[in-house]
Amino acid sequence: MAIRRFGSPNGWAAGGLAAGLLALLALAVLSLFVGVADLTPGRLLDPATREAALVALLESRLPRTAALMLAGSCLAIAGVIMQMLTRNRFVEPTTAGTTEAAGLGMLVMLLFFPGSPVVVKSLVAAGFACAGTALFLRLLRAIPPGSPLLVPLTGMMFGGIVGSLTAYIAHHYGLIQSLGAWRNGDFSVVIAGRYELLWLTLALSVLAYLAADRFTIAGLGRDMSRNLGLNHGRTLVVGLVIVSLISALVVTTVGSIPFLGLVVPNLVSLAMGDNLRRSLPWMALCGAGLVLTCDIAGRLIVAPYEIPAGTVFGVLGSLVFLYLLLGRPSRAA
């Protein structure tokens, strides 16, 4: 019985997931010891340097690695939820104006309530992100059916308008440097005490997994999901709230990572299909691994300087996006 179970598809899937977790763990360990600060296992074991090495490990490297894994996994999950709700493979927070709307919310808080706690700023940014995403979904009703390529282009134009408005306001009030920090996923500023809000995205990811079957049914369309007994409107609201909160928490903590929520779900779905219950763990795993890899590469390419992980992934993600957009149009529907 044990051999038969191991040879089953579920057994192979579990074995592959375990191998993926081991690979992610190896990347996380590598991330702990890559950087400008001289942190090595030998320094951790040496009594003369142990104290300084522990400070660097606990105050900088561990928080940074945790933030990378949380941001990567939750953005991949947010991307696939948006794709299910819009029924389009090319939609994710950075191609639907969600990230730009969250940045506008942060700018409003900096202008009018600069002393507010980070939690309050994140909630306001989430409200702006939710409103921006809802407006984007409203715009989709004007797009003719069967034109999947127009959806991401519309989202990019909508995000460009919101981003331009945000940039104008930021420039007028001398906050353009703060705006640049939000638009670029930079984990070099992550230290203990400044990333803990990202743990809320883990709870949101668990909620998304619990509602995975509902999102899968909602991806069949309004009429079909209603025929199957699903409250489509309520599921849409839950999905919007999850995506908006994740986007706002990531933007306010580390900035934007473009195309992550588009690339990972598409690559995983090519191999595993559209059953979210089965594919969500893989999407979280791949998202975390890709962001870790891009951050490590950014630390090594021009060492001792750093290239932000958002910049590295933006270059790679844009190439994959163009391939998906131009090379596999059949995957859009």
Mean of the per-residue pLDDT values of the chain: 83
Which pLDDT tens digit goes with each residue over 165-184?
988 898 888 877 767 666 67
What is the rounded average pLDDT of the residues 205-228?
Answer: 85
| Nearest to 245, CA basis, from 84, 90, 69, 101 | 101
Taking the C-alpha atoms of residue 160 and residue 50, their distance in angstroms, rounded to an integer, is: 49
In whole angstroms, what is the distance from residue 25 CA to residue 114 CA? Answer: 38
φ/ψ of residue 313, rounded to 5: -70, -30
Q: Is the pLDDT of residue 160 over 60?
A: yes
The percentage of the chain sitting over the pLDDT mark of 70, rounded to a whole number, equals 91
Average pLDDT rounded to a whole number, residues 129-140:
86
pLDDT at 2: 38
Does pLDDT of 50 surpass 80? yes
Q: Across residues 285-289, what is the average pLDDT? A: 93
- Most confident range, picked from 122-126, 144-148, 182-186, 323-327: 122-126
**Terminal CA-CA length for the chain:** 41
Reported as type and span, the H/E element at residue 81 is: helix 62-86
Mean pLDDT for the stretch of residues 77-93: 86
b/e burial code for range 47-70 (CB count within 10 A of at least 16 → b): eeeeeebeebbeebbbbbbbbbbb
| pLDDT at residue 333 is higher than 60 | no
Q: Is the CB of residue 106 less than 8 Å from the CB of residue 166?
A: no
Task: State in words which class domain 65-331 has.
Answer: mainly alpha
pLDDT surpasses 60 at 40 = yes
pLDDT score, position 293: 93
pLDDT of residue 6: 37
Residue 171, H or E segment: helix 150-172
- pLDDT band for 237, please (50, 70, 90 cuts): confident
pLDDT at 69 over 90: yes
Does residue 5 surpass a pLDDT of 50? no
More confident residue, 287 or 330: 287
Per-residue pLDDT band at 225 (split at 50, 70, 90): confident
**Cα–Cα distance between 29 and 45 in angstroms, integer?**
16
Write down the domain spans for the chain. Answer: 65-331
CA–CA gap between residue 18 and residue 21 (Å, rounded): 5
pTM over 0.75: yes
Give the confidence band of 99 by pLDDT, cuts at 50, 70, 90: confident
**Environment class of 240 (CB within 10 Å of its CB; exposed 0-12, middle 13-18, buried 19+):** buried
CA separation for the pair 293, 54 (Å, rounded): 24
How high is the pLDDT of residue 184? 75
Summarised one tens digit per residue, pLDDT across range 257-283 is: 888 888 899 888 888 877 788 888 899
pLDDT at 332: 43
Contact 128, 282 (CB under 8 A): no
